[in-house]
Structure formats: structure tokens, C-alpha cells
Amino acid sequence: MIISRNILNNGQTVVIIPLSTKFDYKLISLKKVPRYKNHFILFADEYSFLRDDSCLKCEDTRVIDKVRIKDHLGNIKKFHLDMVKKRILFTLGF
């Protein structure tokens, strides 16, 4: 997921949070809940561009070259974006 501001995306690089299908979770009321406070799960049944449930691992935020990005797969819901922002701030210690 690209998280850098649009004005910064005009250069050669972008800031991203990687998605992973391998992550630790707890089952609470038959629903996956991330084991760590700096993770956020995107469920495949909510996002048609995902094949499997995937986890944003905010502690792995990094800069990558734009040539590594293939296609725009989709956008996440504003409500979920706000929750991801909270996890980024938690990761940074705010």
C-alpha cells in the first residue's frame, strides 16, 4: 500500500507498507484479529482485488523504487485508512 503524499510521488520512489498473507492473528467471535497492534488486516471478502486475507505490517514501512510497482489494484475504504493511520502512529511511538 502506497502511503506517501501525492506531491512526493512525482520522484523516483514511493513510501509503502507491505501486504503479507502470512501473519499472526487471534480468533475472536470467529473473526481474525491481528496479534500485534501495528498490524491491520484487509479481508479478501471486502476487497475484491485481494485473493487472500492480507495484513498491512506498519513496522515494515519502507521506500521503494517506482519501477517495482506494476498495477494499481484498488483503494481501501476511508474508515480502514483511518485505522491504518492509527497503527502507523502507534509504530512511531505517538
Domains in the chain: how many in total?
1
Name, in order, each residue with C-beta under 8 angstroms of 55's C-beta and a sequence gap of 6 or more: 19, 20, 21, 23, 25, 34, 39, 40, 41, 42
Q: Does residue 57 lie within any of the structural domains?
A: yes
- Rounded CA-CA distance 54/41 in Å is 6
**What's the domain range around 77?**
6-92
Q: Does residue 44 lie within any of the structural domains?
A: yes
Q: Does residue 84 lie within any of the structural domains?
A: yes
| Per-residue pLDDT at 8 | 82
Q: Does residue 31 lie within any of the structural domains?
A: yes
List the pLDDT tens digit at each of the 94 positions of the chain: 999 988 888 889 999 999 999 999 999 998 999 999 999 999 999 999 999 999 999 999 999 999 998 888 999 999 999 999 999 999 888 8
The three cell numbers of residue 79 are 474508515
**Of 26, 21, 25, 20, nearest in space to 58 by CA:** 20
Q: Does residue 1 lie within any of the structural domains?
A: no
pTM for the complete prediction?
A: 0.87
CATH code (residue 67) = 2.30.30.110
- Rounded CA-CA distance 79/22 in Å is 23
